[in-house]
Structures are given as C-alpha cells and as structure tokens.
Chain A
Amino acid sequence: MTRLRRDPRAERTAIQVAGAARPRYDRTARRSSSGSGRPRRDPRAERAGQRVVGEARPRFDLSQVIRVEGPVIADTQPRATTAPAPPKILIVEDPAFLVAVVPDAPGGRLSAHDRQVLGAARALAGREGAVALLTLGACEGPGPAGADRWIRLDDGTEAYDPAGRAARIAAALNGLKPRHILFPESLDGGDLARRVAVRMGEPLFTNAEVVAANGLVRPAKGRRVEQRIAPGLLTTVAPDAVADYAGPPREARPVAVETEAASPAKLRILAAARVPADPATVPLALAEFVASAGNGITDLDTFRTLVAALRATPGASRVLCDAGLMPRHTQVGASGTVLAATCYFALGISGAPQHLQGVAGCEHVVAVNTDLHAAMIERAGLAIVQDAQIVMPALLRLLAQETGETP
C-alpha cells in the first residue's frame, strides 16, 4: 500500500474550532492538510466565502465567486502565490486528446465568434484535453483566447480558393487527429466546415447552440425541435450561443503538423475581388450604422454631409419621405424598412410606434431631440435633449477638427 491511509477522526479533530460549546468544524482548513495531489472543489467553502458578514440571518452575496478550485491539470506550483503577479499561463503538458478549432480569424484577428468557439472547445476539452487552434497565417493572441496548441499553416496564396483552403485544413486535421473539431457557423466558417466534412467523409453537426462534453444541441425544423447528440468529430458552433473562454491565458504552444502536399488546384476561379459595402448605397436593411433624420431636421444638406462624414447609411422618418424631402427607400419603420443595424442615430425623431418597430432590432440607439419625453429619447442608449439642428454642425466641426489633426 503506497497510498496513505486517511484517519478521518484525526482530520476532524484538527479542524475543530476551539472554544465552542458544541463541536464545530472549520472545513475550509481541511484543504491545507490534504495529502492527495488533486485539489477538490469544496462547495461548502465556496458558500462560506460568499456569506455576508454581520447579518443575523445567513445571507449570501452570490456575485462573489471564490475560486477555491485550483488549476485543473498538472499544477506543479504551490497555490498560494502573491496575488498581483503577472497572469499565470496555464500549460497542458500531455493532453489526453485534442479539440481543434478552425477560426475565421479575418485579418489575422480572432473574431468575437471565434472566441466563442474557443470557449466551446474549452468546454469539450475539460481537464484532460487541450484546445488546438488551427490557422492559416498569423493570428493575434491565441493564448488568452484559450488555445493550448497553435498550428499555423502557411498563408498560401491570397487568391480566393475555398476548396484548396479546405483541402489543406483537412490534411492538417488528418495529421493532428483531434477528437473534436469545431468551426464557427459563420459565412466562411460554415462553408469551410462543410467542405472539410465532405472531404473527410464525416458527418457534421451544424449550428450547435449548446456545446458541452455530455452533448451538443442544435435547433432544427424551423426551431420547432432541438436535436441533441454526443459530441462527434465535426461541429459548427452558432454565434452568440456559447461564452468566450474566461480563464487565465493559455500556452498556445506552436505545433507543426505534417501535411501531404496540396494537390494542384484546378484553376476555375478566374478572379475574385472584395467589394466593400458602401454605406451610402447599401440597402437599409443590411446597414450596420444608420443615421436618420426626422421632423426636427430642416437643413437636410447638413444632414447629408454629416451622414457621409460619419460613414453611416442615411435613413428618414415617414414624415420626411412623405414630404418628398428624403427618398422613399430611406424610410425607417413598420411601413418602411425594418433595420438590423448595430447602431441607430436618430436626429430630430420623436419615435412614433411604427418608427420604433423599425428600430426594434438595433443594438444601440443614439437620439438627439428637443423633447425630453419623446419615445425615442426613452429608447436611446445615449439621449441628448437638444436641437438636432445645432448638434449637427457641432458634430461636423468636431469631425473636421479630428481629421485636420491627422494629415
């Protein structure tokens, strides 16, 4: 018997609180005396840490999270470190398996969606596994986002060749042999995932909204049912469904993978060029940032100049469109266009119910209006009770000043 025998009686005596009439025990103290290498979670201790002191009835502040839990794997360092030390990098030395993530990483930066996929991968990897990030070309900050390993393939050519790209990634994945592979269910990521799935001849579980080791869940049949499955090889993760990785930074150790030479691609794509969205002409329903004029605006030339300076898409209330001051297709609202913009900048718009229906899907609203009680002021994240007619020139002056400072 190499293992120490536990003496529960002695352990209990050691943690007994002195002085109490009834025997009371301080179970938090047990941790230090623990002989085994693996730290254990102690819900009781966590609970005690949340207790609000000085109350007659026990009250708990649930926002307090006491992470008693130690680092999960191979914690070789003593736990009691000095608090403000530089963030400790977690290292998984010898993972039992790999969870690969193939991010979009547009422009070499992880998107918000990519980070969520890394969070999902971490949930699948658990304690024993490691998350391996697979990128084509550079990528900023894979470690803090939760990657234990980083496989960086050559950037390849700049040309748009999704099939060739998928072939190289599939080859790398074949070399890596991960247990799970996750992709973001984005335009590019979803495309890549399906190409890889067909190449590998493996089923793909798409658009997972729940990612956990005990199962993946996706909506199906027009969101009338959801389908649950044990995690398979290939999965795409829905946007805004899984939380980012929030723990300490990880190692992101570079790993090389041997891949077979990519087969020469048949050059059937003759040319591909990105056409960026022009905010001035993009359809209102697709616009990201809409600046809109209402009844409180009389100087529409200044409005148009401002819209152009902000690189926003112009919108208008129904009154202005009816009066012919703005084109009909710029009308925002239930009878015009229903927006999906990130930000709606309402100038001189009071916010009729029909108009508010059109901006219901906007994440942020900035409103400038003279009426403090206007519905739009209520709806806005930043509400300014002021005449939009004098705020517009001020905005233009400020923007001009800024560009003047940067020659």
Chain B
Amino acid sequence: MTSFVPLTTVFPGLVWLMAALALLQGLRRAALWRVGAAAPVAWLDGLAKLPKRYLVDVHHVVARDAYASRMHAVVAGGLLAASILTALAILPPLAGFRPYWFVVALAFGVTAIGSLLVGARRYPAKQKRLSAGRFQILPFLLVAYAVGGTITALLLALRIDGLFAPLALALAAAGGLGLAFEVRHGPMRHAAAGALHLVAHPRPGRFEGRPDTALQPLDLDAPRLGSEMPADFTWNRLLSYDACVSCGRCETACPAFAAGQPLNPKKLVQDLVAGLSPAEPAYAGAPYPGGRAAQGERGALARLIGPDARIHPDTLWSCTTCRACVEECPMMIEHVDAVVSLRRHQTLERGALPEKAVGPVTELRQSGDPGGRPLSARTDFAAGIELPVMSERGGAEILLWLGEGAYDLRYGRSLRALIRLLREAQVDFAVLGAEERDTGDLARRLGDEATFQDLARENIATLAQYRFARIVTADPHALHALRNEYPALGGRFTVIHHTAFLLELIRAGKLNPGRLPDLSVTYHDPCYLARYNGETEAPRAVLDAIGVTRSEMTRSGKRAMCCGGGGGAPVSDIPGERRIPDLRMAQAAETGAGIVAVACPSCTAMLEGVTGRQAEIRDIAELLLQAVEAGR
C-alpha cells in the first residue's frame, strides 16, 4: 500500500507542475507585451469585475453558438474544477479522503466529455471557420489529460494498485503538460491572455452596458502618429490580440470577407499576434481572400503594413468599420480600433491613402465637404420647401443636422419627407445651412485624424453660437460623431436619430399616422446606429406604429450585416469578388419583403445601387410620411 502515498502526492504535484509550466510559458509571452506603449488600466476595478465580465458579457456572445457554449462550459469548467481540486489534494487530509477522489474523477470525467465535444468540431472534418495547426492537437491533449486524470482519480478513489496507475498518470501528464506548454503559442493562450484581457480591457465601458464605441482622439503632437509596428500599440491591446482563440466568428460576420475583399479579421488579428514574435507558429486558418502569401519581417519593431509586409494595405482599406467582428468576438477583441490605428499611421505619417480616397479626403480638408461642393448647396434639395436657418433664427428647439446625404439626389427625397413630418408635427427646428461642415467621419475612419479634429472644432464652434435643445439627424454616421466623438473635443450635445425622434412624436400624439398593412417591409439596421449606438428598437417601433407587415432578415439588429458604405470603403473601393450591398440585398430578398426600410444615407445609396434588385429602398421617414398622408 506504500505506493499510494507517492501517487497522491505525484498527481497533485503534476497539476502544480502544469501550473508552473503554464506560468513560465505565460510570462515568456507576457514579456513581449511590455514592448507596447503604456496604457491606463484600473487593475482593482477590473479584477473585481472579472467574474461578471466573463460570466455575463463573454457568455452572452459565446451563447450565440449553443454548441460552442455547452462545449466550452463543460470542457473549461471541468478542466478548471478538476485541476484545482487535484491541486488542492496536495493537502494530506484531502489526499487521503476517498470520496474526494470520486469528486475529482467526476470533474475529470466531465472534462473528458467536453474534450470529445471539442474533438467533434474538428474531426473527422474541421468546421470551416476554425483554424487548424496547433488547434487540431488540442482535443488529443484534452482527452489525454481528462482520461488520464479520470483513471488516476478513480484508482485513487478505489485504492486499486497496479501497473495501471503509472500508465494513467503518464497519460494525464502528457496531456496536462502539453496543455500548459500551449499557453505560450498554442490554443491555451486564449485562456490566460483572455482572462487578463477582461481585466485590462481598453474599453471597460463595454461591460457597463453602454456602447463604448467612440474612437479615442489621437494626440497630434505625439512623436509618432498611429501604429506602424506592434510596439506602437498599447500593451493591453497587444495582450488583447493574444486572447484570440481563432474561432473564426469574426470572419463569418465580416462583410468584406464575404465579398471576397482581401480582409479576414481573424487573420488580421493573428498577423498582429505573429508580428510580435518570430517564434509564432504558422497561421492555419482561412487566408485573406485573394490568396496573398507575403510573410514580411516579424518582431516588435517590424513594419506591419506594406505590399511586402505581413498585412497588405488593401486589407486595411477593405474594412467598412462596421464592428460586426467586434460584436461577434467572444474574446472582446477590438478589431476596428486596430484597423483605425494602423490607418492613422498610413495616412498621417506616410500619406499612403488609397489612390481613390485621396480626392475626397483632400476636399474634406480644403472645403469641408468630401465632394468639394459648395456648403451653401447643401440645402438645395429643399428648393421649394421652407427651411428655417439657424443664422436667421438664432435658436430653435431642434437643430436638424443634414449631413452629406443632403447633396445626394435620392437621399434628398428622404430628407424632404423628414422635413414635412417635422412641419406636420409643428416642431420648432432649424438647420445650419451653409455653416454646416462635414462631421469629418470619413476622414477619421480613413485615419486622417488631423482633418477630423479640424472639422470637429469648427463644427463645435458653430454649434456653440446657437441655442437648441437637441440635434436630430438622419445620418447615423453624423450621429455617432456628434454624440460620441465630439465630447472628447469639447462638444457635448444631445443627439437623437430621426427614427427615435419620429417615434417620440408619434407617442406624443403629434403625428397620427394611418396604417399601411399592405406593405411588407424588412428593416436594414445601419451599423452606426445599431452596433455603434445600440439603437435597434425605435425604427422597428415606428414601422409597427404604421402597421406594415414587418419581417426580419436572418442577420438583424446588432448582428446585422453592413451595406458596405461605412469606414470610407466606398471611396477606397478595394476590388473584391462580389459587392457587399449585393449580398445584403440578397439577404433582404430572402424575406420576400417588397420594401427594404433604411435609416441612413449611406445605406440608401449603397442598397439603391444594387442592380436588378426587386425590393424598393425607402427611408423610415418616407414610409411614415406615406402613413401620415394616408391617415388624413
């Protein structure tokens, strides 16, 4: 019976050894994060909130894939429980307590079941969005550790001696040490880095239930603008990229990837990870569409972007900044921030904007409009309808921000509908007219922070001259800039989207729409309204108020697919195999709705531009006006 004493020590000792190895591997990796720039992190607050962030916020995302959620709960929970319980068995009272070992065996058993679930996603055939490489070994390591652990624990519980014990222990050791080793470069890195990332997340507001989506202003006096190499990112961003578990949910959600443009958010994050260290194993997931194979230099000081570097500039400019990848990421990684940071360096330091975007950004800088059109022509769409102008009125209850869409012939119709509704409801409103400049959204997404800040300051100064309670705009891009991004530059305004404002008017009884039950409508959520501002309900409530038959697309609300019109993607115009709006209209066609309701000038323009579409594109304001006229 003497051989049991060593086993009860050796088995927990194995777990302690695993922990030590994992710590060592983790520290080796963590040393690399130190090259990153400093970042303010509320450590204590983050640590205190870690369980909630993990169990609520992360779980909320993970649970969208029920299988993955169950699998992860079983395998991660089991692994953690079994390992901790075993580690605690180093204490003699527990080690000698047989029922305790039954509990341990149970925990390992659960892990084993979870490991089989993990394996089932990869064998016989791997799911398309998952990465291969080291991830393909993961189920074996898990099974070895779990099965080895189960048997060892059972042997200890049943006090059975024999040759079996060393074999089982060896199996558990192989699996367990393998897992611990993988903390540096392999799949298990996501667990360590992920937990730390939740503590030191660069956007803690995300976990407080508010959309923390505003780009942080760039200090234009900083020695280097934007990110050129891994060392230019802050350390907690480097850490966040290490949290990537290569699950590929982002790649499934990415509109540019779906359109065959050379962007895959997973590969982008993995390139940021790999760029940090030459020792990183080869990427084994789906490549950037277009099949580019350039490797480039690696290292904290190696250039990331370039035709010969790891990331081709076209990859960077394909992004529509729609945040679909961020919304889907179970590890809470901020892909769009990375893209914008890299773009900022390209634009501000190197002047390396895509050729087609140079014109619009130059015009934005020189004339305050990306099309170089006279600012006074912004109100031309309203020829024939009375449009009160702030400079003549000095103030109004509502300031109507027209945005760039006002120059567009098609979108002018939507704005005219909105203005007629405001008149109908006797709203006291006025526009800035020729004093309104572009919000600078386009410049900012394309990395030209200097132009954005100039435009923002000019707009803030203009707005400061007038009295108004709220700003209403039909352009979610303008809304996001005014509401979320101008405060950092000193402009605090209450900004409300026209759909929310129209709903208010309906609820207050100022608009009495009739019902249009004959219309079948599906609503396309603008990214900058739904994902950036979390507003998905007001437009739907307006549609319900006018009694249309409303159906939902497969991807809707905060998980809707982008129209392809954001982030300067239309002006960069990176070639792909398909067009994003075509894909989106195909999704809309699946609902069979005759009308696609929109609430954004970019979406209107992009979806209207789809050739051979069956459905009509109508702004919510246009539909509501029709209902109001029908109700008279």
Name A residues whose Cβ lies closer than 8 Å to a Cβ of B.
295, 318-319, 322, 324, 328, 335, 352-354
Can you offer 8 A-B residue contacts whose CB atoms are under 8 A? A318-B609, A318-B611, A322-B579, A322-B582, A324-B577, A328-B575, A335-B570, A335-B573
Let me know if B409 is at the binding interface, CB within 8 A.
yes
B575 in contact with A352 (CB, 8 Å): no
Judge if B52 is at the interface, Cβ distance under 8 Å. no
Structural contact, B611 and A319, CB atoms closer than 8 A? yes
8 nearest CB pairs, A to B: A319-B611, A328-B575, A322-B579, A354-B609, A335-B573, A352-B611, A335-B570, A353-B409
Q: How far is the CA of A115 from the CA of B570 in the complex (A)?
A: 45
Beta-carbon nearest neighbor of A317 in chain B: B611
Docked Cα-Cα span, A354 to B581, in Å, equals 15
List the A residue with the shortest CB-CB distance to B611: A319
- Chain B residues positioned under 8 Å from A295 (CB to CB): 611
Q: Is the CB of A353 within 8 A of B410?
A: yes
Residues of B within 8 A of A (CB): 409-410, 570, 573, 575, 577-579, 582, 609, 611
Which A residues are in CB contact (< 8 Å) with B570? 335
**Cβ of A328: which chain B residues have Cβ within 8 Å of it?**
575
| Complex contacts, A319 vs chain B, CB 8 Å | 611
**Which residue of B has the minimal Cβ distance to A350?**
B611
Residues on B with beta carbons closer than 8 Å to the beta carbon of A335: 570, 573, 609
Q: Which residues of A sit under 8 angstroms from B575, Cβ to Cβ?
A: 328
Tell me, in angstroms, the Cα distance from A354 to B575 when the chains sit together.
18
* Docked CA distance A322–B573 (Å): 11
B56 to chain A, nearest CB (A): 43
**In whole angstroms, what is the CA distance A111 to B347 when docked?**
46
Minimum CB–CB distance from B255 to chain A (whole Å) comes to: 15
Contacts A352-B609, A354-B609 aside, 10 further interface pairs with beta carbons under 8 A come to A295-B611, A318-B609, A322-B582, A324-B577, A328-B575, A335-B570, A335-B573, A352-B611, A353-B409, A353-B410
The CA of A335 and the CA of B574, in the complex, are separated in Å by 12
Query: What residues of A have a CB within 8 angstroms of the CB of B611 in the complex?
Result: 295, 318-319, 352
Most chain B Cβ neighbours within 10 Å, of A295, A328, A353: A353
User: What A residues does B609 contact at CB under 8 A?
Assistant: 318, 335, 352, 354
A359 to chain B, nearest CB (A): 16
Interfacial chain B residues near A352, Cβ < 8 Å: 609, 611
B577 contacts which chain A residues (CB < 8 A)? 324
Pair A322/B409 contact, Cβ less than 8 Å: no
Task: Output the nearest chain B residue to A324 by Cβ-Cβ distance.
Answer: B577
Q: Which residue in chain B gives the minimum CB-CB distance to A327?
A: B575
Taking CB atoms, residues of chain A closer than 8 Å to B582 are 322
Q: How far is the CB of A247 from chain B (nearest CB, A)?
A: 42
CB distance from B572 to the nearest CB of A (A): 11
Residues of B within 8 A of A318 (CB): 609, 611
Q: Return A188 CB to nearest CB of chain B, in Å.
A: 29
Output the nearest chain B residue to A294 by Cβ-Cβ distance.
B611
| Chain A residues whose CB sits within 8 angstroms of the CB of B573 once the complex forms | 335
Which one of B409, B570, B575, B582 has the highest number of Cβ atoms from chain A below 10 Å of its Cβ? B575
A352 to B410, CA, bound (A): 12
Contacts of A324 in B (CB 8 A): 577
- CB-nearest residue of chain B to A357: B409
Contact A322 B410 (CB under 8 A): no
With both chains docked as a complex, state the minimum distance between the C-beta of B535 and any C-beta of chain A, in angstroms: 29
B356 nearest CB neighbor, chain A only: A335
State A354–B604 Cα separation when bound (angstroms): 13
Docked Cα-Cα span, A328 to B409, in Å, equals 25
A353 partner residues in chain B, CB cutoff 8 A: 409-410
Chain A residue, CB-CB nearest to B575: A328
Distance in angstroms between the alpha carbons of A295 and B612 in the assembled complex = 10
Q: How far is the CB of A326 from chain B (nearest CB, A)?
A: 12
State the CA gap A319–B611 with chains docked (Å): 7
Cα A120 to Cα B595 in complex, Å, equals 59
Which of A322, A324, A352, A353 has the most B CB atoms < 10 Å from its CB? A322
Complex Cα distance A324/B582, Å?
A: 15
- A352 and B573 alpha carbons, distance in the complex (Å): 19
B408 vs chain A, min Cβ distance (A): 10
Who on chain B is nearest to A328 by CB?
B575
Q: How far is the CA of A295 from the CA of B611 in the complex (A)?
A: 10
Minimum CB–CB distance for A103 against chain B, Å:
35
Q: How far is the CB of B418 from chain A (nearest CB, A)?
A: 21
Task: Give the Cβ gap from B175 to chain A, nearest Cβ, in Å.
Answer: 49
Least Cβ–Cβ distance between B580 and chain A, in angstroms? 11
A322 to chain B: which residues have CB within 8 Å? 578-579, 582
A352 to B579, CA, bound (A): 17
Chain A residue at smallest Cβ distance from B579? A322
Which A residue sits closest to B571, measured CB to CB? A335
Which residues of chain A come closer than 8 Å to B579, judged between CB atoms? 322
Q: Using Cβ atoms and an 8 Å threshold, which residues of chain B touch A354?
A: 609
Give Cα distance in the complex from A71 to B609, angstroms: 61
Interchain CA distance A319-B609 in the complex, whole Å:
10
From residue B174, how far is it (CB to closest CB) to chain A in Å? 51
State the CA gap A324–B575 with chains docked (Å): 10
Q: State the Cβ distance, A310 to closest chain B Cβ, in Å.
A: 26
Taking each of B578, B582, B611, which has the highest tally of chain A beta carbons within 10 Å of its own beta carbon?
B611
Q: How far in angstroms is the closest Cβ of chain B from A83?
A: 53
Bound CA–CA A65/B570 (angstroms) = 56
Instruction: Considering the complex, give the chain B residue whose CB is closest to the CB of A331.
Output: B573
Question: CA of A335 to CA of B611 in the docked complex: distance in angstroms?
Answer: 14
